Structure 1
Amino acid sequence: MKNVIFMMLVGLLGVVSAEKAPNIVLIFTDDQGYQDLGCFGSPTIKTPNIDQMAKEGMRLTSFYAQTVCGPSRASLMTGCYPLRLARHANPDSVHPELHLEEITLAEVLKTQGYTTGMFGKWDLAGHKPGTHKVELLPPHQGFDYSFGPPASNDHYVDLFRNGEKIESKADMSQLTRRYTDEAIAFIKRNRKRPFFVYLAHTMPHVKLAVSEEFKGKSAGGLYGDTVEELDWNVGRLMQALKDEGVDQNTYVIYTSDNGPWYFGRSGGHKKSMGPNWAEHGGSAKPLRGAKTTAWEGGLRVPFIIRAPGKVPAGTECDAVVATIDMMPTLAKLAGGTAPSDRVIDGLDVSALIHGETDRLDRPYFYYQHDCLRAVRYGQWKLMLPYTEPEKGSIASSWQTYMEKNDVIRVEKPMLFDLEVDISETTDVADRHPEKVAELMKLAKQAQQDIGDHDTFSELARTFGAQRRTLSTESKGGGNY
């Protein structure tokens, strides 16, 4: 019986009343780069509604996800680094099939009396269309209502409602609007009780698609069109919160699952996209790297949180926060707690988003699938030694999506001062040997506590499922 002890124990803490419990709306876009919002410096993409969110709320400028879609969603839902999590039946795959005994954010919020809705891309039950496990879809992972595809849109999208297929090969140009329509209808139905909306947009993941109203409208090309359509629908959702009288009691979060695609060395993508292939990917400037890399541009993403009277308006914070922190933080906002019967890697950062502090003392670990590549602590980031990956490995295949200058041999640890060198251009390891030693110690602790490609952690969970295999560099491939 799924998580019965947890559900009972947390339930005994008492359900927060509907009058006091805040609603939570979490908007999670796909492959949107650090710079791809007006309020994060885009020179070409106009996002007035999201910019207004930032004016009325807080920007987090050092917010981290994971390098690709599935692991990032697993971290968001569980509060853990992906390598710690139990998989249903695919321990070595890039994209986790999340084990049913893992406790999700939706399940935690349900214990506090929340109605939970999931809209958009799930990607935790199988990554390729048609290969998903029905028993791992949102209805079995804590969501009362769900609408969207089980998997990514690399090829096509099938739409499901509450675990049942309702449409094959849906028109992808309509997805952003349809997800938003469903989320707004859910808010209207549940405005009198606390609700959690997880709105996981398919865009701007390729294949890119945009409705006629936004086609060719952005100076940022096709990619910009999709982001500007996202922004318009964020405006619709924000207006719906006001119309339903729940705006003043709702936290709204906007962020992305990882950095933007880089297609410049991917022959397959360039062939399918044609001469305008560059218009299909976003920008992580001024960060180095892109999706799939352990450079800042791969994991650091835009983050905005707005809650009138709770989150101080027009503020920003550069403390290191991550998707793993959403579970304990949102649980706290709802009046509950994260699970106590297992390791949770994330921290409760509610004091930070409420402006009560601007400091957070914690390291953050950069994983490329199951390979620990770097660690950040404060302003310092250490890239760990890394030689040529084994041919056919995930790390090898991922090089296709990296600029040439980002594919390097790290013969010895490289240290970057992100406070003065956000673009990771200058290795200062020789000048700060004490920092190198300090961060290497943290990395070794993570290898033992969380795991690495050649290290099992005793704290990694299996719940009896098959355990991942150890190798020099994990095998894998496919779309990300």
Structure 2
Amino acid sequence: MKQARFFRSLGGLVCGLVFLVGLYTFTYGQSVQKRPNIIFIMADDLGYGSLGCYGQTRIQTPNIDALAKNGLKFTQYYADPICSPSRCGLLTGKDMAHAYIRDNYEIGGYDFSDEGERGQMPLPNNTVTFPGLLQNNGYVTALIGKWGLGGPGSTGIPTQLGFSYFFGYLGQRQAHNYYPTHLWRGTERVPLDNIYFSPHQSFPKGADPDDITNYARYSGNVYSCDTMASDAIRFIKEHKGQPFFLEFSPTIPHVALQVTRQALKRYEGMFDDKPSPNNGYLPCFRPRQTYAAMISLLDDYVGQIMQTLKEEGLADNTLVIFTSDNGAPDGEGGAPTRYFDANGPWRGFKGDVYEGGIRVPMIASWPAKIKPGSVTDHPTTIWDMFATFCSLSGTQIPEKSIAGAVQTQGISIESILTGKGQQRSHEYLYWELASHHNGEQAVRLGDWKGIRLGAKNDPDAPIALYNIKADPAEQINQANKHPDLVRKIDEIMKRRILSHLNEWNFEYPAQQ
């Protein structure tokens, strides 16, 4: 009898413990599950008008178009005007008045050899990045693709700056070739089955530019973006049981113009195409066909990622954002961007602070949260992603960094994505680039945008003023009609913090 009572008591205790453990697991498990996975896909030099959902008619992008159809399309999303600053703004949440990296800066000059691989100006190793904050909050974080914020052996290695995993190009110079001899996994150099050739060379003298066989020397066995896309799929599958952040940043459609034979087939004979044998990058037999095929291949990668999320049961709890790091270039490397109207209706190209250089596509997909077919014209920026991803993941942003600087000029767009709460707006947006137009600055203030060119010679150079709502092509300068606005924009431009690098400043040597 006593033994029976003992086992009944023991059974009750076990049941109670199981109930408590179950309750804890349910409660805690739900809180963990509710933290979304985040995938940020960033194309390289993809202009606003390059996708079907943004008006493109010649290039096929069905998977990205489906993202827009089933998600949220942004019509006023801004990157920075060139590669490295955009990537810095993304990771650190800083605009170009405060960012550590404000231009592309090649360590060791423009040496494209494997031996000369040193990368770009590195971020300091104490830089606070949102992947690092997410990592500290239980996320596994990965960057697969192009980096451009520090080369081999520098302080700017992705795995030292918040990424649990990195696979891709460390430096931008090597990324000019889609058939490199190697990529990097963390700090390990991973050889590929390709023979080295320079991504910048002229067509051989005496060779026939109309003979396709003379272009075989500009390809290899392993196409880097195929390899990186496969690695992104692997990462998703291997980490489906924990919250993850993945930045997938393939180099498409940045020149050189190179793509696989398989990808080229879909555009066979579709364009009036002529060879581009000498364009500063690599000779290309059919530049229009190649450029379109590159973008459609990028679209294939997006489709593969979305299909993987569906198959692994992750689609509803994963925010996917697709965008670009800046606008399309003006014919760089033979890229037929004017033929495809790659920047849509906007004035300017990559490197410009006109809309064509900085206004780029952005699409957000999150089936459990975002209403299909949504569109927003809320002005949003690449440096908003820092605050957004921290907010969505329940990650606190430190008020001050080690150096005492404010962490971010970005604003979380969680309310736009979820449809809940009141969305805050920027008072103004700011861009600059010392190496273009002899120093350029731009400020967007509501529907007004001020642009100063020639700031390297004259920090008080005239400001052109455009109403980008009424004049989206930035053709009608209204500075004389609105002197108060011009003065306010000038004051904002002069709030910029001096860069650590003199050549990125407009005011030196007067302020030194």
TM-score scaled by length of structure 2: 0.74
Query: What is residue 209 of structure 1 aligned with on the other side?
Result: 258
Within the candidate set 81, 88, 93, 1:79 is matched to 93
| 1:419 equivalent in alignment to 2:469 | yes
Given that 1:74 and 1:82 are in contact with CA atoms closer than 8 Å, whether structure 2 keeps it comes out as no
SS at match of 1:118: strand
Given that 1:91 and 1:468 are in contact with CA atoms closer than 8 Å, whether structure 2 keeps it comes out as no
Post-superposition shift, 1:440? 2.6
| 1:251 equivalent in alignment to 2:322 | no
> Which ranges of structure 1 fall in alignment gaps of 5 or more residues?
1-13, 127-131, 396-408, 461-466, 476-480
CA distance in 2, matches of 1:281, 1:121: 25
**Shift in alpha-carbon separation, 1:424–1:278, aligned structure 2, 3 A:** closer
SS at match of 1:76: helix
Query: What is residue 33 of structure 2 aligned with on the other side?
Result: 19
Post-superposition shift, 1:325? 0.5
Within the candidate set 151, 170, 181, 2:230 is matched to 181
Residue-by-residue CA offset, 1:58-97 (whole Å, 9 max, x unaligned): 111111111111111011111012553447xx98989541
| 1:142 equivalent in alignment to 2:162 | yes
Post-superposition shift, 1:312? 2.4
Query: What is residue 46 of structure 2 aligned with on the other side?
Result: 32
Post-superposition shift, 1:442? 2.5
Query: What is residue 330 of structure 1 aligned with on the other side?
Result: 389
SS at match of 2:389: helix
| 1:350 equivalent in alignment to 2:414 | yes
CA distance in 2, matches of 1:185, 1:36: 28
CA distance in 2, matches of 1:202, 1:237: 17
Query: What is residue 502 of structure 2 aligned with on the other side?
Result: 469
Given that 1:30 and 1:202 are in contact with CA atoms closer than 8 Å, whether structure 2 keeps it comes out as yes
**Shift in alpha-carbon separation, 1:299–1:100, aligned structure 2, 3 A:** same
Given that 2:88 and 2:100 are in contact with CA atoms closer than 8 Å, whether structure 1 keeps it comes out as no
Given that 2:433 and 2:441 are in contact with CA atoms closer than 8 Å, whether structure 1 keeps it comes out as yes
Post-superposition shift, 1:334? 0.3
| 1:434 equivalent in alignment to 2:434 | no
Post-superposition shift, 1:217? 2.6
Supply the AA of the counterpart residue of 1:368. L
Supply the AA of the counterpart residue of 1:122. W
| 1:151 equivalent in alignment to 2:176 | no
SS at match of 1:365: strand
Supply the AA of the counterpart residue of 1:36. S
CA distance in 1, matches of 2:36, 2:376: 22
CA distance in 2, matches of 1:471, 1:102: 19
Query: What is residue 44 of structure 1 aligned with on the other side?
Result: 58
SS at match of 2:50: coil
CA distance in 1, matches of 2:221, 2:371: 37
**Shift in alpha-carbon separation, 1:138–1:70, aligned structure 2, 3 A:** same
Given that 1:116 and 1:145 are in contact with CA atoms closer than 8 Å, whether structure 2 keeps it comes out as yes
Given that 2:466 and 2:474 are in contact with CA atoms closer than 8 Å, whether structure 1 keeps it comes out as yes
Query: What is residue 197 of structure 1 aligned with on the other side?
Result: 246
Query: What is residue 6 of structure 1 aligned with on the other side?
Result: none
Post-superposition shift, 1:150? 0.5
Query: What is residue 165 of structure 1 aligned with on the other side?
Result: 189
CA distance in 2, matches of 1:22, 1:428: 45
SS at match of 1:351: helix
Of structures 1 and 2, the larger Rg is shown by 2
Residue-by-residue CA offset, 1:336-391 (whole Å, 9 max, x unaligned): 1223213111111211222345662421002114855110011110112x33866x
Residue identity over aligned pairs, in percent, reads 31
SS at match of 1:27: strand
Post-superposition shift, 1:207? 1.1
Aligned-residue RMSD, C-alpha: 3.1
CA distance in 2, matches of 1:410, 1:288: 24
| 1:122 equivalent in alignment to 2:147 | yes
CA distance in 2, matches of 1:68, 1:365: 14
Post-superposition shift, 1:321? 0.8
CA distance in 2, matches of 1:311, 1:148: 31
Supply the AA of the counterpart residue of 1:353. L
- Higher mean displacement: 334-343 or 279-288: 279-288
Post-superposition shift, 1:216? 4.9
- What are the equivalent positions in structure 2 for 1:372-383 lying under 5 Å apart? 373-383=441-451
CA distance in 2, matches of 1:373, 1:333: 32
CA distance in 2, matches of 1:369, 1:312: 41
Post-superposition shift, 1:174? 2.1
Supply the AA of the counterpart residue of 1:338. I
Supply the AA of the counterpart residue of 1:434. D
CA distance in 2, matches of 1:73, 1:230: 19
SS at match of 1:19: helix
Given that 1:37 and 1:47 are in contact with CA atoms closer than 8 Å, whether structure 2 keeps it comes out as yes
Post-superposition shift, 1:214? 1.4
SS at match of 1:18: helix
Within the candidate set 300, 303, 318, 2:359 is matched to 300
Query: What is residue 8 of structure 1 aligned with on the other side?
Result: none
**Shift in alpha-carbon separation, 1:190–1:278, aligned structure 2, 3 A:** closer
CA distance in 2, matches of 1:280, 1:69: 23
SS at match of 2:442: strand
CA distance in 1, matches of 2:339, 2:148: 21
**Shift in alpha-carbon separation, 1:335–1:388, aligned structure 2, 3 A:** closer
- What are the equivalent positions in structure 2 for 1:33-112 lying under 5 Å apart? 33-82=47-96, 84-86=98-100, 95-112=120-137
> Which ranges of structure 2 fall in alignment gaps of 5 or more residues?
1-27, 110-119, 195-219, 271-287
CA distance in 2, matches of 1:100, 1:211: 37
Given that 2:441 and 2:455 are in contact with CA atoms closer than 8 Å, whether structure 1 keeps it comes out as no
CA distance in 2, matches of 1:96, 1:83: 17
Supply the AA of the counterpart residue of 2:325. D
SS at match of 2:49: coil
Aligned residues: 411
Supply the AA of the counterpart residue of 1:141. L
Supply the AA of the counterpart residue of 2:238. R
**Shift in alpha-carbon separation, 1:36–1:410, aligned structure 2, 3 A:** farther
**Shift in alpha-carbon separation, 1:421–1:361, aligned structure 2, 3 A:** same
Given that 1:74 and 1:96 are in contact with CA atoms closer than 8 Å, whether structure 2 keeps it comes out as no
**Shift in alpha-carbon separation, 1:232–1:340, aligned structure 2, 3 A:** same
| 1:318 equivalent in alignment to 2:377 | yes
Supply the AA of the counterpart residue of 2:176. D
Residue-by-residue CA offset, 1:403-459 (whole Å, 9 max, x unaligned): xxxxxx996221111112111111122233333233233323x33xxx3xxxx2xxx
Residue-by-residue CA offset, 1:221-252 (whole Å, 9 max, x unaligned): 32111110010110011000010011100000
Supply the AA of the counterpart residue of 1:164. E
CA distance in 2, matches of 1:15, 1:91: 45
CA distance in 1, matches of 2:82, 2:507: 15
Supply the AA of the counterpart residue of 2:191. E
- Higher mean displacement: 112-121 or 152-161: 152-161
Given that 2:464 and 2:478 are in contact with CA atoms closer than 8 Å, whether structure 1 keeps it comes out as yes
| 1:387 equivalent in alignment to 2:454 | yes
